[in-house]
Amino acid sequence: MAATERHLRRRRDRSHGSGGPLPRAAKPAPPATPGAIVDLSAVSKLYDGGHLGLDQASLAVTPGEFLFLVGSTGSGKSTIMKLLTKELEPSGGTIRVAGKDIADIRRARVPYYRRNIGVVHQDFKLLPNRTVHDNVAYALQVTGGTRRDIRAKVPDVLRLTGLATKLHNYPDQLSGGEQQRVSVARAFVSHPPLLLADEPTGNLDPETSIGIMQLLYRINRTGTTVMVATHDHVMVDKMRRRVLELAGGRVVRDQPAGRYRDDESTREFAARMRSDAPSFDPRQW
Amino acid sequence: MRVSFFLREATRALKRNAAPSFAAMATVVVTVLVLGVFIPIVEATTGAADTVRGKVIADVYLKTNATQRDRERVQRLIEGTAKVGSVEFISKERAYAEEKKRDPEVYDVLGSNPLPDTFRVTPERPDDIGDVRNALAPLAPGGERTVADGAIDEVRNREEDTNKILAATSVVKLTIAGLAVLLVIASILLIANTIRLSLYARRRDVEVMKLVGATDWFIRWPFVIEGIIVGALGGIVAVLVLIVMKIAIVDPLAADFALIAAPETMNFGLLIGLLLAASVAVSALGSGLSLRRFLRV
């Protein structure tokens, strides 16, 4: 797809530039896992009420990876997402993103840090009084993007997400799947190196979910690291990507990616997702 | 790009949230109206109190055998004393004429003029009356009073009247000042609360804006601009009503009643300017500050 290629080209152009897309620490602390884009070491989060959200969790994600976080409600998936966007502060341990300890980021710099992370939520979190186009454009406007920037990038990403015809609709005129696509488009419009999706298909029917997963896969193929928290086992099993399972705030399973063709096109991918093989669990449907 | 973006965001928000914006504006209108009526009343009351206080004076009686030169010397002495506002000389003849007019029979019986020459001294500020008296008639160690000049017989400040006037007018002034402060606090709280409510309705928007990496000030500016617009609109409406009220009610009355016209109330234009500036400032600050709570994400 042409749009995908354009994103790839932009990514390449940027990596040749002097500064990387993520803020660099003045004195980078040696990452526990060299080259990891996300690196949690012994991270704990104790909530105010005394609930332990994360308990000494450690994980490392290499750039370009597609990672699933699975686990029941309260296992700590969302806590990891919120820690990564600095909505929450960890009670212990260190979180490094692109080699930089994010505890060092001052409060005033947090917005600039967040611009490097695309976030997709279960409840879409769209601005209800803006059109699809304006919702996506807002992500560029806040970063000081010019009108030309917006004109170049927004239609592109809307085409990528299949929303080109819904440009002027308001969120409440869209289906759940379309709203989630807007949310993905907004998260990806500035081409962040890291995309977090917290239960992106939680509110959607299976067929729509496949569409969203297909979209995330397409984004992942442009080189963006994608982390998806979900409890949709069927989806996870079919994707055959790396799976981290959490339980009670601990990482209880780290299953490396299964066998899949690197060059699988998104259409082939979607076809495979829709097929019954390899595991069909009727309880999920 | 930036300024126009903020302006567009602010006007869009105003249009989309018409009801809360209107509520905020109505609050501003009512508050400014009340203040606009109350401020001149405060001023008129304090003005009236000051007029009364202007009657606080000290009488300097000269000895009956004082000569013309004594009189001139004492006048220079009084005029050179600190905190003295004005001095009025009342000759014994004039004093006699005044008193006789007030009580003719008594003065008929007296026949001759027993009254001394008098300087009527008005202090710069009514509260200074004690100091002026002490300067002209210092307290001696024994509790007696001496006089600053041999030709002065006695200095009196009509103690009872003076103390009553000073006490009564300070009570009036303090009460009015207290009321004014309360009213201003109430107005600010009212406006702040209304703004808070309209922001509360949009806290989700703020959350989303923070999520995509908007800085605090980037989120805040449209709200502040919105506050300025709401404050200005509310202020203008209220001021228009005030102008109509002044022309239709106060001005015709002022022609008939001296009290409304008399004491120096603030220039109407200045009053209007102040009210407008205050309504804009309070609304803008109110939106900017109220937002702080929702920015902590």
Q: Which of B1, B207, B218 sits opposite A142 (nearest CB)?
A: B218
Q: Is the pLDDT of residue A23 over 60?
A: no
> CB of A23 within 8 A of CB of A215?
no
The ipTM (two decimal places) reads 0.73
Last residue of a domain, one of B157, B184, B207: B157
DSSP letters, B212-252, are: TT--HHHHHHHHHHHHHHHHHHHHHHHHHHHHHHIIIIIHH
pLDDT bucket at A192, cuts 50 / 70 / 90: very high
Q: Could you tell me which chain A residue has the CA closest to the CA of B2? A: A144
* More confident: A164 or A271: A164
Residues B228 and B263 grouped into a single domain: yes
Q: Is the pLDDT of residue A81 over 90?
A: yes
CB distance B207–A125 less than 8 Å?
yes
Q: Could you tell me which chain B residue has the CA closest to the CA of A139? A: B212
What residues of chain B have any CB closer than 8 angstroms to a CB in chain A?
1-2, 5, 12, 16, 204-205, 207-216, 218, 297
- C-alpha dist (Å) from residue A23 to A15, A26, A104, B145: 13, 9, 11, 84
Q: Nearest C-alpha of chain A: how many angstroms from B22?
A: 18
CB distance A129–B211 less than 8 Å?
no
CA A64 to the chain's CA centroid: 11
Q: Nearest C-alpha of chain A: how many angstroms from B211?
A: 7
Q: Which residues of chain A neighbour B297 with C-beta distances below 8 Å?
A: 87
DSSP class of residue A192 equals -
Q: Which residues of chain B neighbour A87 with C-beta distances below 8 Å?
A: 297
> CB of A177 within 8 A of CB of A211?
yes
Residues B89 and B229 grouped into a single domain: no
Taking the Cβ of residue A91 and every Cβ of chain B, the question of whether any pair is shorter than 8 Å is answered with: no
Alpha-carbon distance of A128 to A235, in angstroms, equals: 30
- Sheet with A52-61: list strands edge to edge: A52-61, A38-46, A92-97, A100-101
Reduced to 3 states (helix: H, G, I; strand: E, B; else coil), residue B65 is coil
Alpha-carbon distance of A131 to A136, in angstroms, equals: 9
What is the predicted pLDDT for the residue at A11?
57
Residues B172 and B138 grouped into a single domain: no
A199: left (phi over 0), alpha (psi -120 to 50) or beta: left
Last residue of a domain, one of B138, B157, B176: B157
Q: Which residues contact B122 (CB under 8 A, 6 or more apart)?
A: B54, B56, B57, B84, B85, B86, B87, B88
Mutate to test the interface with B, among A82, A89, A112, A142 (most CBs of B within 10 A): A142
Q: Nearest C-alpha of chain B: how many angstroms from A29?
A: 25
The CATH number assigned to the domain holding B130 equals: 3.30.70.3040
Q: Which of B2, B207, B215 sits opposite A111 (nearest CB)?
A: B215
Number of folded domains in chain B? 2
Q: Which of B12, B205, B214 sits opposite A142 (nearest CB)?
A: B214
Q: Which of B205, B213, B215 sits opposite A127 (nearest CB)?
A: B205
How many Cα atoms within 13 Å fall on the side-chain side of residue B225? 19
Q: Could you tell me which chain A residue has the CA closest to the CA of B206? A: A127
CB distance B208–A115 less than 8 Å?
no
Residues B145 and B226 grouped into a single domain: no
Mutate to test the interface with A, among B17, B204, B208 (most CBs of A within 10 A): B208
Residues B63 and B47 grouped into a single domain: no
Q: Provide the mean pLDDT of chain A.
A: 84
Alpha-carbon distance of B75 to B92, in angstroms, equals: 15
- C-alpha dist (Å) from residue B11 to A136, B3, B7: 20, 12, 6
DSSP class of residue A115 equals T
Which residues constitute the domain of residue B199?
Answer: 2-51+166-295
Q: Which residues of chain A neighbour B1 with C-beta distances below 8 Å?
A: 146-147
pLDDT digits (tens, 9 = 90+) for A232-259: 888 888 888 899 999 988 999 888 887 6
Q: For chain A, give me the number of helices (H) and strands (E)?
A: 9, 10
Q: Which of B211, B214, B215 sits opposite A125 (nearest CB)?
A: B211
Question: Which structure tokens are listed for A92?
Answer: 């212990």
Last residue of a domain, one of B157, B177, B206: B157
Residues B174 and B115 grouped into a single domain: no
Residues B172 and B290 grouped into a single domain: yes
Q: What pTM was estimated for this model as a whole? A: 0.69
* More confident: B255 or A92: A92
Q: Nearest C-alpha of chain A: how many angstroms from B266?
A: 46
Alpha-carbon distance of B283 to B231, in angstroms, equals: 5
Residues B187 and B203 grouped into a single domain: yes
CB distance A114–B213 less than 8 Å?
yes
pLDDT in tens, chain B (297 residues): 578 888 888 888 888 778 878 888 888 888 888 888 877 777 777 777 777 776 777 888 888 788 888 888 888 888 888 788 888 888 888 888 887 787 777 777 777 777 888 888 888 887 787 788 788 778 777 667 777 777 888 887 776 666 777 787 788 778 878 887 887 787 778 777 777 777 777 788 888 888 888 888 888 888 888 888 888 999 999 989 988 888 888 777 766 665 554 445 567 788 888 888 988 888 888 777 777 777 775
- C-alpha dist (Å) from residue B30 to A203, B186, B192: 47, 12, 14
> CB of A199 within 8 A of CB of A229?
yes
Domains annotated on chain A, with CATH: 2-12+37-276 (3.40.50.300)
Residues B174 and B43 grouped into a single domain: yes
Residues B85 and B226 grouped into a single domain: no
Which among A113, A118, A40, A36 has a CA at the least distance from the CA of A79? A40
Alpha-carbon distance of B195 to B21, in angstroms, equals: 8
Residues B97 and B206 grouped into a single domain: no
Taking the Cβ of residue A142 and every Cβ of chain B, the question of whether any pair is shorter than 8 Å is answered with: yes
Which residues, numbered 101 to 140 in chain A, qualify as contacts with chain B under a Cβ-Cβ cut-off of 8 Å?
A: 108, 111-115, 119, 125-127, 129, 138-139
Element housing B283 (H / E): helix B268-295
Alpha-carbon distance of B190 to B27, in angstroms, equals: 7
Q: Which residues of chain A neighbour B5 with C-beta distances below 8 Å?
A: 141
How many Cα atoms within 13 Å fall on the side-chain side of residue B18? 1
CB distance A186–B12 less than 8 Å?
no
Q: Could you tell me which chain B residue has the CA closest to the CA of A185? A: B212
Residues B84 and B185 grouped into a single domain: no
